Homo-oligomer: A and B are copies of this chain.
Amino acid sequence: MNIHCLLFDDYEALDLMGPVELLHHVPGAVLHYHSQHGGRVRSTQGFSIDTQALSDLPAGSVLLLPGGMGTRQKVHDADFLHHLAAWVAQAEACLSVCTGSALLAATGCLDGRAATSNKRAFEWVKSVNPKVHWQAIARWVQDGKFYTSSGISAGMDMTLGFIAQKKGLPLAEEIAAYTEYLWQQDPGLDPFAALYGYKRESP
């Protein structure tokens, strides 16, 4: 399993590192750190990572997209979005955390699909592309090859859900135990949505 992390300046640290930690424990997983042009990329938390330019994704690749304040510019970066659309098309699975789903949405690849994002930034994310079926109350959402999570920490729950689906629940549970992570396994349980006024409609 080749996992290609796509970074950009001002991404949110845990959006990336939570999934990275968990995916690294999948036997045979290899993590690659990329940006559009390569070079050092700086997180909002002030550290810089070496990245390699991303060209084509090999067959069977997983694409991992963090969110963060950097997405606010990237959704208007036509050249970046043009390349992102190609990488998404090549990927076997796409995982986004937090406002990373705004980048996916901006390419059009989520049109007509269900997806979620950070609840604090949800109205902005929705405004990026209203053709997506945005789910306000969800820890994470899967639709086809797209796995989108709610804010920051939710990426870890989604990643374990992804691992469970691809490699079996026992491995996901083993990785949760190894990392001493209290995994919330239910993608529909979202205790944070109500903080921003998102509530299920009465039947």
Contact = CB atoms under 8 A, between A and B. Distances in A.
A200 to B, nearest CB: 18
Interface in A102-160: 118-120, 150-154, 156
A162 interface: no
A18 B49 CA distance: 17
A119 B152 contact: no
Interface residues of A, number: 38
Interface stretch (A54-62, A73-81, A179-187): A179-187
A16 B20 CA distance: 13
Nearest to A40: B50
Top 3 closest pairs, chain A to chain B, by CB: A17-B17, A151-B180, A14-B21
Contacts of A184: 182
